[in-house]
Structure 1
Amino acid sequence: MDGLTAWMEKHILPVAAKIGAQKHLVALRDAFIGTMPATMAGAVAVMINAIIRDLPTQFIDGYDGNSIPVIREIIGVNGYVWNGTLAVAGLIFAFSWGYNLARAYKVNDLAGGIVALAAFLQGVAFSYTNTLATEVPQSVVDTINAGSADTGWSATVDGLTVGGWGWLKLGHLDANAYFTIMIIGALATIIYAKLMLANITIKMPDSVPPAVSKAFAAILPAAIALYVVAIINFIVGKLSDGQLLIDLIQKFIAEPFLNLSQGFGALVIVQLFIQIFWFFGIHGTNVMAPVLEGIWGVAQLSNVNIYQNGYDGLKGLDAIYAAIEDGKAYYWVRGSFDVYTMFGGSGGTMVLLLAIFFFSKRADYLTVAKLSIGPGIFNINEPVMFGLPIVLNAIMVIPFIVAPLVTTAIGYFATTAHLVAPVTQQVVWVVPPILMSFLATMDWRAPIVTIVCMVVAFFIWVPFVISANKIQEGE
C-alpha cells in the first residue's frame, strides 16, 4: 500500500495539482459558482411550486393548486422568480463566465462579462416563423393580410404563416446555451483579454477620470472580439443554409455529451477522479466542477425546467419520463451525486463517522468524529478529511474510493429502473442527507434508496475502521 501511495504521489499528484490550478478551469468553476444566487433562487421557487402545486396531486384526487386562493398567488409569484433566473440561466452564466475569465487574465473583469454576454446574444434567434397548411377562405385571407404589418400573420388560400422579429427564444437563453457560451464566450473574452494585455487600446489623457479611461481602454479590444464572433456566426449561417451556430453546437456537441453522461461508465470515471483528487488533499468536487456543472449541471437545469413547465402536454414526473424518452431530460444529473454518493460530503463520510462511533477504539479517531459530526450533517467534511485524516491515509483510501462507486451504482440503477424518481429539483448542497433526497426528487422512495446507500457504505467502511484500531496513534 505504501508503494502504491508513493507511485500515486509521484505520477498523479502533480497532474492533479496542475488541473486544480489551471486558470481557465478555475474561471469556469467560479463562473458556475457565480450564478448560484440566481439559480438557487429559481430553484427555491420551483421547489416551492412543486411542494404546493405538484406534490399534493400524488395523494389528493382532484387537487389543483392553481384554483386555491393564496396558493394560486404564491405559484404566480414563483413563476416570476423563475422567469428571471432559470428561464434565462444562459444569460446569467454568460456574464459570469466572461467576468471570471477576464479576472483570470487580470484585465477589466466587468468588460469581460459584457463581452461574453454580447458575443453570446448576437448568435441567438431574434425572429420566428411558422406555417400551417390548411384551406383558408379568400375573405379571411384578405382580412388577415390587411393587418399583417401589425400582427405578423399572413395567409394564402392554402395556409397561414405567422412570424415576428424582436422575439428571443427561451430555448436559447436557458441552460441549453451553456455549451455555446463556454465556447463562444471563451473565444470572445480571450481575444479581448489578449488585446488588452498587448495594450491595443484607446489611450485617454491623464486628466480623464479613471473609470472613463478604463471603459475607453476596453472599447477597441471588445469591438474586435465581437466582430470576430460575428464573422464566425455569419460564415456558419452561410455554410449551413441559415442555421444558427448555437443550434449546431447544441446538436453536435451538447446533446452527445449529455447522452454520454447518462452511461454508468461516465459516472464511474468522474466519481473516481473526485475521490483520487481528494485523497491527495485537492478539493475533488471543485476540480471536477467544470465537468460536473458543465454536463450534469446542465442536465439538472433541463429537468428542473421541464418539471416546472411540463413537456408535450404532460406535467410533473410524467413530463420528465416523456422528455427522457426524447433525450430532453435525464435520469442522472448533478444533484444525483449529492443525493446518493455525497451524504456528509465526498466519499459518504457521514457513515464513516458512524462507523467510528460504533467500532473505533482510537481516542484520536473518536475525538475527530465528535468534532466532525456537526458539519457532516450539513455535508461539510473538511474536518474529517484533514483531521482524521483521510487525505494520504493508505488505510482509508480503499473505502473512500469504493464506497461512492457502489452507492453511485445503487442510485443510478434504482433511478433508471424507475424504482425512484429522477432528481427534478435543485437543492442547496448543505441540506442534510435523506431530507435532501426527498426535496430533490419529490418522491418518498428516494430517502429509502439513500438510506440503503448509507447502510451499504457503512459496511464498506467498517472493516477499515476496525483495522485502524491495530495501528497506534502517530504511526
Structure 2
Amino acid sequence: MMSVSDKFMKLAGKIASEAHLVAVRDAFVAMMPITMAGSVAVLLNVFLRDIPNNLGMSSFVESMSPVIAVNGNVWFGTIAIMALVFSFALGYNLSLMYKVNPLAGGMVSFGAFIATVPQSLKFASNLEGLSDKAIKILSGAGVAVEPASKGVDLSSWGAISTAYAGATGLFTALIVGFISMKIFAYLMNHKVILRLPDSVPPAVNKAFAAIIPGVVAIYAAAILAQASVMLTGKALSDLISTYIQTPLMGLSQGVGSVILITFLVQLFWFFGIHGHNVLAPVMDGVYLTAQNLNLEHYQAHHQIAKLPYLWTRGSFDAYCQMGGSGVTLALIIAIFIFSKRDEYRAVAKLAWPMGMFNINEPVIFGIPIVLNPIFIIPWLIVPPICATIAYTLTALGVIPPVFIMVPWITPPGLYAYLATGGSWLAGLVSLLNLGVAFLIWLPFILYANRVKENEL
C-alpha cells in the first residue's frame, strides 16, 4: 500500500510538472534580466537621489542628474513595460508546451495582449486655467482636450500607458496569453494553416503556417476587449485588475497567507521536492507582482512609507531564507558550535561558503534534512516564525516593505538592506531572524548528539 509520504510526493510531483504552471514559472524566470536591470536602476537612484535629497545634499543630486536620468531610462525600458515582455515570454513557453512554433507563439501572445490595452490616455490634469494657446497646441498635435470638473481630461488615440504595460497588466497578460495560445496551438496542431510547397525555405514556411492561427487568436483577444468595453464600459485590463488581480493580491497580504506559503515551501522540501518551483505560480505570479507594483509606486512617488503591499516575493528571501530554505545558515552555525557528530561537521565545513550565498542543497541532502525525523520540527517552523516577525514589524512600520529586486545569492542582512532601499533596520531584522532560527535549531542539534546515526 502506498504510504502517506509517497502519496504526497506523487501529488507534489504532478503539481510541479503541470505544463501550464511550468510555462508560467519559466516566463517569470525569463524576465529576470529586465526586472533585475530595472531594480538596479531604482536602487542606484535611491542612493544618488532620494537619500541625498533627504539629507539636504541637493548639489550632489544635481551633479548626478545625468546618471539619474539614465537610470530612469533603464527603468522605463524594463519595469515599466514588464507586462509586454511577460506576454511574449508566456506565449513562447506555452508554445513550447503545445509543441508549436515558439517564436510565432510569443509574438501572437504579445499582439493579443496589445489588442486588449486601451488605445487612449485619459487623465485628469491639475493644470487649472489651461490657456487657449496651450489647448490649440495640444489639439494641433492630435490630442483632444475636454473640460473637466477638476482640471482637464487629455486623451490621445494610439498611446499605451505604463499603467497597463507595467506590473498592473501582468494578470491581463497571463489570462490573454492563455486564451490566445490555446486558440493558436489548437489551430496549428489541427493543421488549419497555409500550406506552401516543400521548395519554400523552412523559415518562410513556418511564418506562413502561423498566419491563420495568429490572426484568429489576435482577433479573439481584440473582440473580447471590445466586448468588455461595450458591455461594462470598462477596458478588459481594468475589469481583470478590479475583480481578479486586486482581490487576489489582497488575500496574499494577510499574515495567514504568508505563513501558509512559507510553511508549504518547507513541507515540499522535506520530501525532497523543490518547494519554490512547485509554488512558483503563486510566489511569482502574486508576490512578485506585488513587489513590482511597490517598485512602480516608489518610482512614481519616492515614498517608501506608502508602498501598497506589505509582503512581496523578495520578503521571503530577505527574512525567511537566510542561507536557503529553513534558514540553514543558522543550522550550520549551530553545528559548528555545538554538534559532536563528525558527519554533520564535515557537511557544515563544505556547505558554509555556499550557505553564505543562500545555496543550501549540500545541507538539505548532505545532513540530510530530507525525511529526517530529528529535524522536521525546526525545518517546518523556523521560516514561518521568521516570516511572522518580519511581517509584524513591516505592518507596524518599523521596517519598510521589500520593493527592489536583489539577486537571491546576496548574503543575509545585506539582502534586506538593499531590497528595502537602504533600510539598516531591515538588515538588522534579517540578522535578528537568523539569531531566532539559531535558537530554534540548537536543541535539535543537541538532541542529535545523543542519537546514533543508524537510528535515523
Give the whole-Å Cα distance in 2 for the aligned partners of 1:106 and 1:157.
52
SS, match of residue 95 in structure 1: helix
Residue 284 of structure 1 is matched in structure 2 by: 275
TM-score, normalised to structure 1, is 0.90
1:416 aligns with 2:395: yes
Q: List runs of 5+ in structure 2 lacking aligned partners.
A: none
SS, match of residue 61 in structure 1: coil
| Aligned partner (choices 312, 319, 325) of residue 333 of structure 1 | 312
Cα displacement (A) at 1:7: 4.9
1:112 aligns with 2:101: no
Give the whole-Å Cα distance in 2 for the aligned partners of 1:347 and 1:143.
61
- 1:193 maps to a residue whose letter is A
SS, match of residue 359 in structure 2: coil
- 2:439 maps to a residue whose letter is F
- 1:451 maps to a residue whose letter is L
Cα displacement (A) at 1:149: 4.2
SS, match of residue 189 in structure 1: helix
- 2:45 maps to a residue whose letter is N
- 2:97 maps to a residue whose letter is A
Cα distance change on mapping 1:228 and 1:367 into 2, 3 Å: same
Alpha-carbon displacement from aligned partner over 1:10-64 (angstroms, at most 9, x marks no partner):
3321111100110011111100000001110111111111122122345x33546
Cα displacement (A) at 1:428: 1.0
Residue 462 of structure 1 is matched in structure 2 by: 442
Q: List runs of 5+ in structure 1 lacking aligned partners.
A: 1-5
| Aligned partner (choices 301, 304, 319) of residue 317 of structure 1 | 304
Residue 122 of structure 1 is matched in structure 2 by: 115
Cα distance change on mapping 1:198 and 1:61 into 2, 3 Å: same
Instruction: Describe how 1:92-241 pairs up with structure 2 within 5 A.
Output: 92-130=85-123, 144=135, 148-154=139-145, 162-241=154-233
Instruction: Describe how 1:252-401 pairs up with structure 2 within 5 A.
Output: 252-310=243-301, 315-318=302-305, 321=306, 324=307, 329-401=308-380
- 1:317 maps to a residue whose letter is I
Give the whole-Å Cα distance in 2 for the aligned partners of 1:335 and 1:451.
16
Give the whole-Å Cα distance in 2 for the aligned partners of 1:412 and 1:88.
29
1:15 aligns with 2:6: no
| Aligned partner (choices 38, 41, 47) of residue 42 of structure 1 | 38
RMSD: 2.3
Give the whole-Å Cα distance in 2 for the aligned partners of 1:453 and 1:143.
57
Cα displacement (A) at 1:190: 1.8
Give the whole-Å Cα distance in 2 for the aligned partners of 1:87 and 1:262.
23
Cα distance change on mapping 1:417 and 1:379 into 2, 3 Å: same
User: Are the aligned partners of 2:31 and 2:85 in contact in 1 as well (CA < 8 Å)?
Assistant: yes
Give the whole-Å Cα distance in 1 for the aligned partners of 2:405 and 2:344.
34
- 1:301 maps to a residue whose letter is N
SS, match of residue 128 in structure 1: coil
Cα distance change on mapping 1:398 and 1:165 into 2, 3 Å: same
SS, match of residue 358 in structure 2: coil
User: Are the aligned partners of 2:416 and 2:426 in contact in 1 as well (CA < 8 Å)?
Assistant: yes
Question: Identity percentage over the alignment?
Answer: 42
User: Are the aligned partners of 1:145 and 1:155 in contact in 2 as well (CA < 8 Å)?
Assistant: no
| Aligned partner (choices 428, 433, 437) of residue 448 of structure 1 | 428
SS, match of residue 162 in structure 1: strand
Cα distance change on mapping 1:250 and 1:160 into 2, 3 Å: closer
Give the whole-Å Cα distance in 1 for the aligned partners of 2:94 and 2:185.
9
How many positions carry a matched residue from both structures? 452
Give the whole-Å Cα distance in 1 for the aligned partners of 2:148 and 2:167.
40
Cα distance change on mapping 1:360 and 1:171 into 2, 3 Å: same
Give the whole-Å Cα distance in 1 for the aligned partners of 2:126 and 2:454.
81
Give the whole-Å Cα distance in 2 for the aligned partners of 1:307 and 1:147.
30
